[in-house]
Structure 1
């Protein structure tokens, strides 16, 4: 369940796919899908049945990285599907231990493939049927039972998504992007295999969160308030007031930063570059040094 913990931590309260995943750029309904990889063997199609009708996307994208496959599909009004799958090859994967989600237009919440009251519930599956490395396209099928992600609301019933299909969705690989993440933990390099950079809601504040995971499924997340500009901001361990936060997940346990700082070197509407160092809580605190990131968000 460690990968799922990492996914939910970085995917939490995602707005309708105005996000980057595995170092990719935000989806744009005006994109020329051929730009993601020439020679598509057919048109990109993403559709699913729910609530008595068939939903069809107008724009799609996918990323295949070290540990994950991400797939996004939206309509012009912002509603859409987003999948983060703990996989890098064809096969069938359970919905409840991955993230399959549908977000309605204008909502920061959506229908997720996990029953938070019963995480072991079999809510469906996603099958990757083909990864075409010549045309850079991915295809497959899916179905899942989606539970409303705002767990404080109990009146919204789950939705069944059926006959899900995605065909010839253009993908890029992690190696084709220019985003970077670096840090040392206790003097040893944290070697990332995946990077996720998104805008998330933490309490009442919007943050830009940059997360990385290594081959042993340990992860590191650095978050800064979206309103911040270039400068250095201290970490005190008070998550209610700190402008920046950091977490190191080691061996399935979260260790929160209680001291340190994050420096925003530069920031635009779509990209952020910075450095960081911090010390965590715990019986034996972790010391993170030489941290640096340069990512799209």
Structure 2
């Protein structure tokens, strides 16, 4: 059976999120799902997870559900969760977001002006470590030039008493140089399964967010210039996409729970609002301990 991994680095970061008073989910109840189950409707067809994992770490919730029979995966993360409703698309540098990944490793993301959605945390039981709620979102599949022609609708999402774990304190890091200047990532988080995961690295010093979409975690060097692996960078409201570059998995010890990697890449935007067309990342590296 495929195992779902969560990879986390959290140093310091203040997340701003918004709650919706008029929820589209108000007439839908999480008990539509059985206890320990996550269900949804994906473009009109049923999604029923065969495995789901959740983690509550440094005050944030991470939930991943996979249908092993089809390879589909829904991932949702919520900053500072409480029993309330949260926007999944308004803040593009917030942890609070959702994604849907197909068996072919195509990923659709809620964080985009033309996407979005919401999640309602109905019950958050910190004593028994379970979470229940409902969700829906629209996801888009971005092209490297920031355009898109594929949209997916996730509706009638419900999860009922999903167990989450709280890992012990981990010692992790993420650094790079951007245009030759040292950059430390304050928050770096990784989640997905053993064959597909995403990496998000936020630097509060310039409010930039670097993201990787990766379909393997075995040792080796992978091309980021397009295709299966890709990278994007959001800064000042502008989105940049990898034109050249590589990401190297140096070591992945599944018994110890250690992932180490490095990266170098150029990202570009043909018409940025701030007038900067390219950024160059060099000497990028990360070291992540996780609960295997």
Shorter-chain TM-score: what band? 0.5 to 0.7
More helix by share: 1
Q: How does 1:1-297 map to 2 (within 5 A)?
A: 20-23=5-8, 43-48=35-40, 56-65=48-57, 69-78=61-70, 80=72, 82-90=74-82, 91-97=84-90, 99-100=97-98, 106-109=103-106, 119=114, 125-144=118-137, 146=138, 149=141, 152=149, 161-162=155-156, 164-173=157-166, 176=168, 178=170, 180-185=172-177, 188-196=182-190, 210-215=199-204, 217-221=207-211, 226=216, 229-230=219-220, 239=225, 248-254=233-239, 264-267=249-252, 272-276=259-263, 282=276, 288-289=282-283, 291-294=285-288
Q: Is the 8 A contact 2:248 2:263 kept in 1?
A: yes
Could you tell me the TM-score, scaled by structure 1's length? 0.55
The TM-score normalised by the length of structure 2 is 0.55
Query: 5+ residue gaps in structure 1?
Result: 1-16, 25-41, 201-205
Q: Root-mean-square deviation (CA), in Å?
A: 5.1
The answer on whether the counterparts of 1:67 and 1:86 sit within 8 Å (CA) in structure 2 is no
- 5+ residue gaps, structure 2: 10-33, 91-95, 143-147, 269-275
Q: How many residues align?
A: 243
Flag the structure with higher strand content.
Answer: 2
Aligned residues of 1:126 and 1:140 also touching (Cα < 8 A)? yes
Give CA-to-partner distance per residue, 1:221-271, whole Å, 9 cap, x none. 46778598457x8x9xx9259x98765433333456788875543357897
Q: Output one character per residue of 1:155-194: Cα deviation in whole Å (capped at 9) or x when no partner.
A: xxx65722x3322212234x54758332044655513323
